Structure 1
Amino acid sequence: MRSHQTVLLACAVLGALAMAAPARAQSSVSVNGMLDLGLYRGFDGVTQIGTVQRSNLAISGVEDLGGGVKAVFRLSTRFEMDTGASEGAGYKPFWHDESTIGLKGAWGTVRAGRAMTAMWANDWKFDPWCNYNRIASPAWQHWHYLTPSDPFANNGTAEYGRLNNGVFYDSPTVGDFTVRLSGTPERDPRGATRPVSAVLEYGQGAWAGMAAYERNSIGDKDYFAAGKYSFGDAAIMAAYDDSRELATNGRSRAYTVSASYKMDQRVTLKTGYSLQRLNGVDNRYLSFGADYALSRRSTLYFSVGHQHTTSTGFGMAHIF
């Protein structure tokens, strides 16, 4: 009996391997991410070692299904380099950053799961720090201030950026324009409506632009527009964000201008200014940064930001 079971097991394993071999020849899985750690003094005056720019680990894959169609997936988690703990451990899911599966073809890409909304997934292109630096990024400080993308995504607490149970679509680029959409067919009983996010993106040579609208499940709304012009080793960016909270009639309007300049193959300078009008009160934010590329993957950086108080920090980031 034991011998018969062994033969059946061997046959099953060989059969699985035989079926998997062609798939492996037409599919690929990659592991990548970013490691970041710095020493910084926060706006609260506390000096600490920690993540200035988010660290993440991602597993992604693609399989060619034939006929110009591919299956895609992505799993990504974010973590704190100074402690090794998952970001938001205890209330955020392990695959906090993204967990999606979908199809890609000439008609675009459709994914489902948890991921950044259309607006949040693309606004980084108009900020020198890619909305990824807690000290220097005007986007991090002022954009989408009153409108969490999913008010209940993290075990009942708000998520700024991502949507649970979502469907995400990116169109092919037609005439220099790309449409990006996200939403969910589900209605959270704690909310009043289904969330939706829509982006129209433009790119032609030195010019780039984006217009976006987003509404979350409790009726908060965000209107966003941005533009970028690149010339030589420099780029200038401008953005406007209008964030409105339904429950309180709160409103945050942010006017942002920023620039970057690549001095040589190693040094890049960045600066930004943002004026936020939050419920009638003006908040100004000024920042500066410098990156020094040790290689194509490793960078040393210095960041400073000022809003009422000053925050400074320096650190190292490695992309793999």
Structure 2
Amino acid sequence: MSHLFVRRAAALASASIAATLSASALAQSSAITLSGMLDTGVYRDAAKVWQVGPIQRSQLRLDGVEDLGGGLSATFALSHRFDSGDGRLESSTKPFWYGESTVGLKGPFGSVQVGRRLDALYSLDWEFDPWANYDRVASPAWDLWHTLYPSDPRGNNGSAEYGRLNDGVFFDSAPVAGFSLHLSGAIDRDPADKGRGRGAAVRYADGRFSGVLARQINRRGDTVSFAGARGTFGEVALMGAVDVSRSEGSTARALTLGATYALGRTTFKAGWGRLRVDGRAAETLLGLGAQHALSKRTAVYADLAFKRIAGRDVTLPGVGIAHAF
């Protein structure tokens, strides 16, 4: 009995030690990162009213990763957007974790996520706009792309969401010979829906050239087709995109061109775009801008846009400061 008791005690102690070491190892292989950006500017909007607040976006983001072994990791992401001008939510109709709320797995195959995030197209299109589709004053993409295509017509507490899917599944493959596949689809479907929101995009990138082809359809039956290309030649980058969106018998066609030039800490930007809806001119835009890096995290910038909207000419100036962390 005494020998049996000793063996069992030794086995129990070994198991306890192994569990403790395993827990320690797991704890050491996981990490949580806090990041974000604070952006505040002064700008004039299309109604010729001066505004104070984000010209780009202000957000707080939490990312987590845990090494599961065998090249597999668990991930999560939470992203909150807010108006830095007054500290409130970016919009009262948007959820608190507006930017993203996902959990997933990543490995040699790529990544799979479940929850709310940018769909296949919106997660890739930024590369083909000088302002990364992230500037409300001068970006042609902000004004003209995906005009008739909300990713989820009811994605923000019943109002339309342009960019993100709720209750979605997202797959991003690992690159193979420069090519990668990106898929997104909504899980839920209401009886009134024509189908589930879904989309696919193929991206090519080799460091100097990149391109994307994408096609999506939402739960209401609206569609969008997108093609973008970009080339980098030393300090100069040239880009262009064609976007066609359709909804309830209407068609919007957008063409945009852009360029950036890096001179030391300063990046100059220029972009042009034209939008036609059902064959009629809806908007033409010329955007100019410059961004100067004060440090690796802080930059000041100035924008100027000339827009013709429904036959009316407006000039939009803006200046701002952004700090990333």
Using structure 1 for the length normalisation, give the TM-score: 0.92
Q: Determine the C-alpha separation between the residues in 2 that align with 1:84 and 1:291.
A: 24
| SS across alignment from 1:21 | helix
Q: Determine the C-alpha separation between the residues in 2 that align with 1:172 and 1:40.
A: 40
| 1:124 matches 2:129 | no
Q: Determine the C-alpha separation between the residues in 2 that align with 1:217 and 1:239.
A: 25
Aligned-pair CA distance for 1:314: 0.1
| 1:316 matches 2:321 | yes
| 1:62 matches 2:65 | yes
Equivalent residue in structure 1 for 2:41, among 38, 56, 60: 38
| SS across alignment from 1:141 | helix
Q: Determine the C-alpha separation between the residues in 1 that align with 2:187 and 2:57.
A: 30
- Which structure 2 segments of 5+ residues have no match? 1-18, 308-312
- Aligned ranges 1:174-193 → 2 under 5 Å: 174-193=176-195
What letter corresponds to residue 221 of structure 2 in structure 1? Answer: G
Q: Determine the C-alpha separation between the residues in 1 that align with 2:26 and 2:120.
A: 31
Q: Could you report, residue by residue, the CA deviation over 1:270-293 in whole angstroms, capped at 9, with x for unpaired residues?
A: 000001111222121110000011
Aligned to 1:9: none
Aligned to 1:25: 28
Aligned to 1:5: none
Q: Determine the C-alpha separation between the residues in 2 that align with 1:17 and 1:241.
A: 55
What letter corresponds to residue 51 of structure 2 in structure 1? Answer: Q
Q: Determine the C-alpha separation between the residues in 1 that align with 2:193 and 2:119.
A: 17
Alignment root-mean-square deviation, CA: 1.3
| 1:297 matches 2:297 | yes
Aligned-pair CA distance for 1:155: 1.2
Aligned-pair CA distance for 1:22: 2.9
- Aligned ranges 1:58-97 → 2 under 5 Å: 58-89=61-92, 91-97=93-99
What letter corresponds to residue 270 of structure 1 in structure 2? Answer: K
| 1:281 matches 2:273 | no
| SS across alignment from 2:221 | coil
Stretch of structure 1 that moved more, 187-196 or 71-80: 187-196
Aligned length: 301
- Aligned ranges 1:1-320 → 2 under 5 Å: 20-89=23-92, 91-245=93-247, 247=248, 249-264=249-264, 266-282=265-281, 283-307=283-307, 308-320=313-325
What letter corresponds to residue 160 of structure 1 in structure 2? Answer: Y
Aligned to 2:15: none
Q: Determine the C-alpha separation between the residues in 2 that align with 1:34 and 1:17.
A: 38
Q: Percent identity?
A: 46
Q: Could you report, residue by residue, the CA deviation over 1:40-88 in whole angstroms, capped at 9, with x for unpaired residues?
A: 1111100121110011100011000001100000000100001111111
**Aligned pair in 2 of structure 1 residues 17, 31: CA closer, same or farther (>3 Å)?**
farther
Using structure 2 for the length normalisation, give the TM-score: 0.90
Aligned-pair CA distance for 1:21: 3.1
- Which structure 1 segments of 5+ residues have no match? 1-15
What letter corresponds to residue 88 of structure 1 in structure 2? Answer: S
